[in-house]
Structure 1
């Protein structure tokens, strides 16, 4: 993993997450912020379900995208920001549990592009079941901070 370019990366990532209204809308939290890795937790509630009672795949994509994107953000300078330019996700099992956990990590850091992955697990009765895998490309926007 690359050296830490910003010793205050966790504060910057946390502040960004708090500004992201989409995560607030679905009741997601960001309890883990480490260099090159983050976790987003999401309680299962009726407002994010699809017609079978599982968490909707679009919501699963939201938390995977954000977890991996924030993992990338931990590795950029404080004068840069990140933006998803592509991701591919496989839904491998229904998102059926009391809570979902999206674990994002940096696979390959770079100056312009950062490659990340996320795994999303459904937590049910204390057991984690993998429900989605995602690979993502992040663009580093040098000299452009968030609004």
Structure 2
């Protein structure tokens, strides 16, 4: 893994997550922040369901995008921020569980672009099942910090 450019990356990532109203809206949490890796957990509740009772694919995309994006954010200097410019997601099974876990990870970190991946697991009766896989490109915005 690349050099840690900001020793306070975890605090910065957690503060950013707290400012993300969309994550609060869906009741997501960020229990894991490590260099190059994060996890977002989402309880399964009626407000995130689609018509069959599964977590909606758009919500699965939200947590995958944020988990991988925050993994990328752990790699950049404190004077920079990140922005998703592209992702491709495969929904491989219904998001059917008591909760979802999105695990974001940096695949390659560059000065301008960071390539990440996220796996989303549905957790049912303690057993994890992979339900989505995402690959993402992140743009590093040097000299632009979050508001």
**TM-score band, normalised by shorter chain:** over 0.9
Corresponding position: 1:36 with 2:69: no
Give the C-alpha shift of residue 77 in structure 1. Answer: 0.1
Cα offset for 1:2?
Answer: 0.5
Q: Which residue of 1 aligns with 2:7?
A: 7
Unpaired runs of 5+ in structure 2?
Answer: none
Asked whether 1:113 is paired with 2:103, we answer no
Give the match for residue 102 of structure 1: 102
* d(CA) in 2 for partners of 1:145, 1:55: 32
Q: Residue 53 of structure 1 aligns to a residue in which SS? A: coil
1:27 aligns with 2:27: yes
Cα distance in 2 for residues equivalent to 1:10 and 1:28: 17
**Cα separation, 2, equivalents of 1:48 and 1:14:** 23
Aligned to 1:87: 87
Scaled by the length of structure 2, what TM-score is found? 1.00
The alpha carbon displacement at 1:129 in A equals 0.4
Measure how far apart 1:124 and its partner are: 0.1
Structure 2: distance between partners of 1:33 and 1:13: 8
Q: Paired residues, what number?
A: 147
Q: Spell out, residue by residue over 1:33-70, the C-alpha distance to the aligned partner (whole angstroms, 9 max, x if none).
A: 00000000000000000000000000000000000000
Partner of 2:54: 54
The answer as to 2:65 corresponding to 1:65 is yes
Matched, 1:123 2:123: yes
